[in-house]
Amino acid sequence: MRKSRISIKWKTFSIFLIFTIVLLGVLWFFQIVYLDDFYKIIKRQETETVLNNVEELLLSSHEGDNDCSEEIEKIAANHNLGIYITDEDGNSIYNAEYIYNSQMSSLPPFMFEIFYDEAVANGGEAVIEYKGGEMQNKIREVLDSMEQPTEEEDSKEGRIAYTIPPKREEPGQFRQNIGDDMAESVIYVRVADVGGTKEVIMINSVLTPVDATVSTLKAELKYISIILIVIAFVLAVGLSRSISKSIIKINDGAKKLAAGDYSVKFSSHDYMEVSELSDTLNYAASELGKADSFQKELIANVSHDLRTPLTMIKGYAEVMRDIPGENTPENVQVIIDETERLSGLVNDMLDISKLKAGTITIQPEEYNFTESIRHVLERYNKLREVDGYTIDFVYDNEVNVYADEQKMYQVLYNLVNNAINYTGDDKKVTVIQKVLDNVLRIEVKDTGEGVKQEDIPYVWDRYYKDSAAHRRAIQGTGLGLSIVKNVLELHGAKYGVFSTQGQGATFWFEISINPFEEEDEE
């Protein structure tokens, strides 16, 4: 898998700068290329809105029998439009022309008829677009195509003959101003039914050329682009440094942590995510430091526990070899006891490894748990007789449970061993059995110095051992509590410890007597 070799500083800088350039490109594209189209769309939407307003004014004026000419004048003036309203024969009703080249009031009757017929054919509305002199040219084309009557026919039939307007502008003729061939105009025609009569609404809107505006915008955008690129460059440099500074600092600290320096502190709090990462790494460094310390203590303690029985085995064996008469049963028993202690230590370490690896499974069956406790305590009869230990077992009834008998036997044995190793000068240990509904609770109490409150979360750790209270175990190997924890978790049991400094400690666990009853209740 290919890894990116670009630093976060330069990547952030590049992204920010590219974003600014793309933003400017979009701005140039829409402001220059499509400005004319946007302008036309907005202008036409505005004209259509005015057309609807004028129609509403005509309807309200007819219903209220009042004059709406002032309102129409205001609308035309406010929107710079030409508004021309006639009846269906082309006779003027209202005329408000506020654009210099409005050509509606001077339209020849035949052009009005063309507009009217086109609107009727399109369902009552028509849009006529033309550019500058196109309207005049259209009128010329229509007149050219019409059959011109003679003066005699005109006088007989009473008709008026239209001639093509001259190219120069004269009063009363169809107007064309200088430069109009560059202006685009639109005439909206609507045939409205007002009180049973048809009225024709014509609105003339001039679309002003935007070429000059585009040139102005180009000049402005050039300066704006230069300024924005400079600002973006400065911001990109500052932002990339700000973001990368914290991450680079954390990365340097993580390298020290990986090298085994657990005293490193992460203090980057510039951003929420970076702050959370710093807190997580600080917690990881703290836990790794504790684990490393516990592991070193474990190695020291295990080395001590291994060395002691090996030394005694070697010493007694040499004595029995070199000194006549020392080959006694007592010396042999010492060697056997130390060998058992050494074997127990090795077995406990193997059990911890298997439990942590998840290779050990439980094989539950129903058995007498109370009887199993008595069997565990029988193993300490010699300790009671020789060293004066008192181990009491308090219970009310015999209790059967569904669990792995061998594993739970190991739990009980390790808890009692732990209590014996840390009990007080009175050498008293108490095992209590309680039954609460379908739950069996076992408590193992000692009368020693107890467990410090800050150390309680760590007593189950396989690396934990109170260095202040460390001594060669009277029974067991000192690794039993970690085994207890893992076995109880395999059974889904609850466990814990409560202690008062100077008044001993109580280790407890709770296990279901019959888990099938709980499943039936659910």
Looking up residue 469, the CATH number of its domain turns out to be: 3.30.565.10
Identify the top-confidence range among 34-38, 156-160, 180-184: 34-38
Tally of structural domains, the chain: 3
* Cβ–Cβ < 8 Å for 509, 495: yes
Q: Is the pTM of this model over 0.75?
A: no
Check pLDDT > 70 for residue 267: yes
Instruction: Tell me what the mean pLDDT of segment 8-19 comes to.
Output: 77
User: 396 lies in a domain?
Assistant: yes
User: 388, exposed or middle or buried, with CB in 10 Å at 0-12, 13-18, 19+?
Assistant: exposed
Q: What is the per-residue pLDDT for 472? A: 44
Whether residues 460 and 473 fall in one domain: yes
Q: What is the per-residue pLDDT for 296? A: 76
Token output for 354: 């298997």
Q: What is the per-residue pLDDT for 1? A: 42
Q: What is the per-residue pLDDT for 291? A: 75
Q: What is the per-residue pLDDT for 216? A: 72
Segment (H or E) for 259: none
Average pLDDT of the residues of the chain: 77
Instruction: Tell me what the mean pLDDT of segment 111-130 comes to.
Output: 85
Q: What is the per-residue pLDDT for 467? A: 47
Whether residues 339 and 382 fall in one domain: no
Whether residues 72 and 195 fall in one domain: yes
Listed range (20-24, 128-132, 184-188, 290-294) with the worst mean pLDDT: 128-132
Whether residues 341 and 481 fall in one domain: no
User: 295 lies in a domain?
Assistant: yes
Q: What is the per-residue pLDDT for 506? A: 94
Instruction: List, for residues 41-85, the tens digit of each pLDDT value.
Output: 888 888 888 888 888 888 888 777 677 888 888 888 888 888 888
User: 391 lies in a domain?
Assistant: yes
Residue 505, Cβ neighbours under 10 Å: how many?
Answer: 23
**304/21: higher pLDDT:** 21
Give ∠ CA 501-503-509 in degrees, rounded to 5: 90
Segment (H or E) for 361: none
Q: What is the per-residue pLDDT for 262? A: 80
* Residue 265 backbone phi and psi in degrees, to 5: -120, 135
Q: CA of 428: how far to CAs of 381, 383, 447, 481, in Å?
A: 14, 12, 7, 19
Q: What is the per-residue pLDDT for 400? A: 93
Q: What is the per-residue pLDDT for 469? A: 47
Whether residues 353 and 437 fall in one domain: no
**360/469: higher pLDDT:** 360
Whether residues 50 and 199 fall in one domain: yes
**138/67: higher pLDDT:** 67
HSE of 491, CA atoms in CB hemisphere, 13 A: 30
**430/22: higher pLDDT:** 430
**77/35: higher pLDDT:** 77
Q: What is the per-residue pLDDT for 366? A: 93
Which domain range does residue 122 map to?
Answer: 34-146+178-209
Query: Which amino acid is it at 443?
Result: E
Per-residue confidence at 132, pLDDT binned at 50, 70, 90? low
Instruction: Tell me what the mean pLDDT of segment 463-484 comes to.
Output: 58
Whether residues 389 and 341 fall in one domain: no
CATH assignment at residue 42 = 3.30.450
Q: What is the per-residue pLDDT for 247? A: 80
